[in-house]
Structure 1
Amino acid sequence: MNWITNYVRPRINSIFSRREVPENLWTKCDECGQMLFHRELAENLNVCTNCGHHMHISPRKRFEALFDGGVFGKVAVPAPLADPLHFRDQKKYPDRMKAAQKGTGEEEAMLVAEGEIGRTPIVAAAQDFSFMGGSMGMYVGNAIIAAAERAVATHRPLILFSAAGGARMQEGILSLMQMPRTTVAVQMLKEAGLPYIVVLTHPTTGGVTASYAMLGDVQIAEPNALICFAGPRVIEQTIRETLPDGFQRAEYLLDHGMLDRVTPRTKLREELITITRMLMGLPPAVLADLPPPAPTESDAEPAQPVMDPAEKSAEPAPVVPPVKS
């Protein structure tokens, strides 16, 4: 028996032929600690299959699950001044922006898109909490105005998904000015007789709740979402009293009349289709006839949608047919 041939060589071959296993195949639930396989988690829209905890989901992934077949076109948003106050703390504001853009792959904290849900044309806007805490700056204000103008121009309802930690301190008073600006944008929809539906996700706090996030014709929230102006810790320190369990969570607000519905993310698309068609005076959609949902990462290769600019004229702009996101 040759020791080198029978033992050493196979051992060396096994070491060098060992395949590297990706580190992001499993995700630990923050609520129950369950380890979740990445494909199962993605198919369940980042909702824990064990306890139902709603994890963070990016606006692009949310839109892929919302629109028919995952097909949507991006609405262009005017770019504001890059650094109006020349703000600097531990980092320069432009450096923070570049880091957030690199980490999320998005231009800013809000994505505006248009497409169909249940064959019903809509305009949708979603905030990304992973982009500087989803903070409301001038770009977010421009995005909501662009979404409202596009909805009015094409006579479509607007659905907004909020997720923010408040105003963006790096833009100072300019970020606070987005509260009245977005309120005027919402009023444009109401004067045009178009539905404005808000879906509040975790967390929605600060000046966002004092403006566009609480002005919807229908207010929906995801389960256990934190929805408030000042957080519970600040309130407890101010009034020096212990707050009730679940204070400022979605279910608490529903019980006290501040919300219309609390709907799990996996059932949100069907509910939005029903509400949108009802408010637009359309007949109920037959769910069996609706287009299939977008394929998961395991079923198809990801692709980017075709982006079409938003037009501000009264007539709808020609839209380039988008491809699957």
Structure 2
Amino acid sequence: MNWINNVVRPKIRSFLEKRETPENLWIKCPETGEMVFHRDLEANQWVVPNSNFHMRITSKKRLEYFFDNGEFTKIETPEVAIDPLKFRDQRKYVDRLKDAKAKTELDDSVLVATGKVNGYDMTTAVQDFAFMGGSLGMAAGEAIIRGIEVALEKKTPFVMFAASGGARMQEGILSLMQLPRTTVAVQMLREAGLPYIVVLTNPTTGGVTASYAMLGDVQIAEPNALIGFAGQRVIEQTIREKLPEGFQRSEYLRDHGMIDMVVHRHDMKETISKLCNLLLKRETLLPELNEEPVEAEVSTEVAVTS
């Protein structure tokens, strides 16, 4: 027996070879520290079962959960100039864009799609926070406007899932121009009498909050989502007062009239569907009751007994 070949070498290989073990088998809840198996978390739409903490999800996952059978059609959006200001900080803006596109497999921070929600057509736009913090640039602005145009063409409600850190600084004034442009597009929906529903997810801040994210016919938010324009520390330093606990969270904003309702992710689809039916004055589909009742036949024959 050659013990070097049969024993020593396999042992050395086992130390040197990289073990292929799946990463992120367990995910830690940011709120309670609870460890949750990733498959259980995914099956629960990325809501931690015990703490009810709503974790961030990708735009594609959001659309799968929202549309019937997870089926939707992506809307192609207009191309825009890349890095028109030739911006550079620690890195070139074009390099940041390449990394974000490779990481998320998206063209930009907003994904627009159409599909069926409980049998009715719906147009939806979703901001993906993983793409440069969901920042609003020219491409994102064009995507939202194109989505609204499709909603106008198809005469469908338009649902906006917002998640953003604000305007994209690398595009400067060109980014800020998207705020009034998207606002005008929302007004077109209003004039056409089509519902515009906004769902504020964690976080929704900056210029996005100052524009289309606060213009919905109905303002919905996920539980404990961070929603605001400026950060809490900046506000406290400006007004020189201590702000209430959780004053920029969904529940606080609902209690003080800034948003209409806080809805669990599991109930989001049904809630939005009912709201759209109400706003469009759709009749609830009920079974037909036009058939005349069948009366029981009564025998008039008299039994003759011998």
Q: TM-score band (shorter)? A: 0.7 to 0.9
Asked if the contact 1:274–1:285 (Cα under 8 Å) also holds between the matched residues in 2, the reply is no
> Which amino acid is 2:70 matched to?
G
> Which amino acid is 2:255 matched to?
D
Q: Deviations over 1:71-126 (max 9, x none)?
A: 00001110110011010101111000001111111110000000011001000000
**How do 1:211-290 and structure 2 match up within 5 A?**
211-284=211-284
> Which amino acid is 2:231 matched to?
G
Give the Cα separation in 1 of the matches to 2:144 and 2:78: 11
**How do 1:92-131 and structure 2 match up within 5 A?**
92-131=92-131
**How do 1:1-325 and structure 2 match up within 5 A?**
20-284=20-284
CA RMSD of aligned residues (A): 2.2
Question: For 2:175, what is the secondary structure of its paired residue?
Answer: helix
Runs of 4+ in 1 over 6 A off after TM superposition: 16-19
**TM-score (normalizing by structure 2):** 0.87
* CA deviation after TM superposition for structure 1 residue 21, in Å: 2.4
Classify 1:21/1:159 alpha carbon distance in 2 versus 1 (closer, same or farther; 3 Å).
Answer: same
> Which amino acid is 1:267 matched to?
D
Question: For 1:61, what is the secondary structure of its paired residue?
Answer: helix
Give the Cα separation in 2 of the matches to 1:224 and 1:56: 12
Give the Cα separation in 2 of the matches to 1:281 and 1:124: 20
Classify 1:285/1:65 alpha carbon distance in 2 versus 1 (closer, same or farther; 3 Å).
Answer: farther
5+ residue gaps, structure 2: 287-306
* CA deviation after TM superposition for structure 1 residue 18, in Å: 11
* CA deviation after TM superposition for structure 1 residue 285, in Å: 5.9
* CA deviation after TM superposition for structure 1 residue 276, in Å: 1.5
Classify 1:36/1:188 alpha carbon distance in 2 versus 1 (closer, same or farther; 3 Å).
Answer: same
> Which amino acid is 1:95 matched to?
D
Paired residue total: 282
Asked if the contact 1:120–1:277 (Cα under 8 Å) also holds between the matched residues in 2, the reply is no
> Which amino acid is 2:98 matched to?
K
Question: For 1:160, what is the secondary structure of its paired residue?
Answer: strand
5+ residue gaps, structure 1: 287-325
* CA deviation after TM superposition for structure 1 residue 57, in Å: 0.4
Give the Cα separation in 2 of the matches to 1:8 and 1:49: 47
Give the Cα separation in 2 of the matches to 1:272 and 1:285: 16
> Which amino acid is 2:32 matched to?
C
Give the Cα separation in 2 of the matches to 1:84 and 1:175: 11
Give the Cα separation in 1 of the matches to 2:277 and 2:57: 25
**TM-score (normalizing by structure 1):** 0.82
Give the Cα separation in 2 of the matches to 1:21 and 1:116: 39
Give the Cα separation in 2 of the matches to 1:230 and 1:242: 15
Asked if the contact 1:24–1:38 (Cα under 8 Å) also holds between the matched residues in 2, the reply is yes
Task: Specify which structure has the bigger relative contact order, considering alpha-carbon pairs within 8 angstroms and separated by 6 or more residues.
Answer: 1
* CA deviation after TM superposition for structure 1 residue 245, in Å: 0.8
Give the Cα separation in 1 of the matches to 2:75 and 2:84: 24
Question: For 1:200, what is the secondary structure of its paired residue?
Answer: strand
Q: Deviations over 1:15-34 (max 9, x none)?
A: 69997321121111111111
Asked if the contact 1:72–1:115 (Cα under 8 Å) also holds between the matched residues in 2, the reply is yes
Give the Cα separation in 1 of the matches to 2:67 and 2:283: 19
